Chain A
């Protein structure tokens, strides 16, 4: 069975500081992994994804994530936070056996000026 755990339901960082949002997964097969962002009153927008190949994945808005199989992790980072990064972030894993997505419980990012 697949599952996704996001550590920290709320993360606060200062503007210009490093953003680190944690995601761990469990999967019985090599996973496809995703990060989505949800701005207030909007739908989910794909930030980046890992399917195969290079384990360091770059996404939109300066975000990147690294797939670490040994740690079953797919943490999201950004070197310097902007006020516009304040949003809800969701990690997701694709269950390739059952053909569906599993979402984490989300992490709310606050950026302090």
Chain B
């Protein structure tokens, strides 16, 4: 059983489109995250949710909107995609905000 699963794994889309990435965890964790990894492998946190409540909202464009319908899901919706949005996006979850995070396999987004 996959602990943290993201779909799709690859996403190629044109500039200006709107797309969503889905994330689900079956670990019973309270906290979920979205990270962006750029071409230099640098990991930057975007959002953190705890029990469906937004905890962290780092400086990301408001074109990015997370949605947590329940504790096990944290989806990422991106409006008006730009070339600079191309990256690998990782979903993660943890039992609380201090213990280690478990990561999904990532979604490689390519904007053309």
Taking beta carbons and an 8 Å cutoff, which residues of A are in contact with B?
Answer: 32, 34, 36, 38, 41-46, 49, 51, 88, 90, 94, 96, 98-101, 103, 105-106, 108
Contact = CB atoms under 8 A, between A and B. Distances in A.
9 contacts: A32-B98, A42-B106, A43-B90, A44-B92, A44-B101, A46-B100, A46-B102, A94-B98, A99-B98
SS class, residues of chain A in contact with chain B: strand
A96 to B, nearest CB: 5
B99 A32 contact: yes
Contacts of A36: 103
B103 A99 contact: no
Contacts of A103: 42-43
Interface string B78-112: 00000000000010100011111111111000000
Contacts of A43: 4, 90, 103-106
Interface string B11-52: 000000000000000000000010000001111010010100
Contacts of A46: 100, 102
Given A99-B55, A100-B48, A100-B56, A106 B100 contact: no
Contacts of B92: 44
Contacts of B50: 99
B97 A100 contact: yes
Given A43-B90, A99-B55, A100-B48, A34 B43 contact: no
B41 A101 contact: no
A106 B103 contact: no
Given A96-B98, A100-B55, 4 more contacts: A101-B101, A103-B42, A106-B42, A108-B41
B42 A44 contact: no
B105 A42 contact: yes
Contact of A105 (B41, B48, B90, B105): B41
